[in-house]
Amino acid sequence: MKQAVVKKEDEGIRLDRWFKRHFQSFRMSELNKCLREKNIKVNGKKSECGYRVCEKDEILYPDTFGQDKSEEKKAVSAKDRAWLEAMVLYKDRDILAINKPCGLAVQGGSGQVRFLDALLDGLDMGTGKRPKLVHRLDKDTSGVLVLARNQLAATWLTRLFKERDMHKTYLAVVSKRVKAGKGVINAPLKKAVVGGVEMVVVDKENGLPAVTEYEVLDACDEASLIRFKPRTGRTHQIRAHAKYMGHPILGDVKYGKHDASKLHLHALEIEIPVGEKNIKISAPVPDYMVETINRFGLNQGGEK
């Protein structure tokens, strides 16, 4: 095992960001596994990715952590590489954006065998350079996921996400009729365990600020089609806010009920500011959501 002491300039960043900053061959899947197996400790105790490090914290980690494992790069089959490349929505020298399907986890965790972070070598697009994760989508949320193609772009994009300079739009089908129009949900959120299940709940006294704009595009008695625009980036924010409205997203077992086979939440569009212009990237709505929208006779354009 090796030990490192957190320096003043790193104080306040998340533990996963600390590892990403200090290990050239950092992989989130490796970090998650080490944390899960208690092979990484902070001040002698088990820790989590979201822990904010403090100056002089002592971080203990395996001496093999972060080593470039060439055999892992060979693990992406030609079939998986073609599958991944078919997801690509946009690419330039710095940015790669894909249309992540519902059911594909972005990072490894408990019970996750197949996830995007372990497959990213298959998205080198012939450069031999593995793209980097700069944000996440829930496993069952489909749509636009942005990746960085180099370290400089990763730093830039991470800052944009952190400072909320990215404009993200989600499309969701929620239960029952929502009153037509636009609105803003301003309801602080906090992680909690409810009935033995870890989730996010509204807590106006102790929760972190969470704000979501919404627009009802169309509605019927059984369901409504809504466009959500989060102003903040809390875990499960849209799902928790939809439940708070009294209209959980279809297929959201954690925040609603098993009323559809898949979660009907799609990251529809993202705008990335580049100089004086914005790069706008959109992902087509998945077939299962289109089928539901058509079955209820809803109009995505918001007009009858």
For 16-44, the pLDDT digits (tens) are: 989 988 887 788 888 988 998 899 999 99
6-38 as b/e: b if 16+ CB within 10 A:
beeebeeeebbbbbbeeeeebbbbbbbebbeee
**Cα of 7 vs its chain's centroid, Å:** 29
pLDDT band at 303 (very low <50, low <70, confident <90, very high): very low
Tokens standing for 64? Answer: 């093999």
- The SS3 of residue 153 is helix
pLDDT at 72: 45
pLDDT at 53: 94
pTM of the model: 0.78
Q: Considering the candidates 57, 117, 138, 252, report the single residue annotated as catalytic.
A: 138
Mean of the per-residue pLDDT values of the chain? 91
Greatest extent of the chain over all pairs of C-alpha atoms, in Å = 64
pLDDT at 25: 74
Q: Is the pLDDT of residue 69 over 80?
A: no
What domains lie within the chain, and their CATH numbers? 2-61 (3.10.290.10), 73-162 (3.30.2350.10), 167-295 (3.30.2350.10)
Please report, as a single letter, which amino acid is at residue 296: F
Helices and strands, counts by H and E, the chain: 7, 16
d(CA 255, CA 249): 8
Apex 227 CA angle, 226 and 230, nearest 5: 125
Reported as a single tens digit per residue, the pLDDT across 138-190 is 999 999 999 999 989 999 999 999 888 899 999 999 999 999 999 999 999 99
d(CA 166, CA 272): 5
- Asked about 117 being catalytic, the answer comes back as no
d(CA 70, CA 244): 47
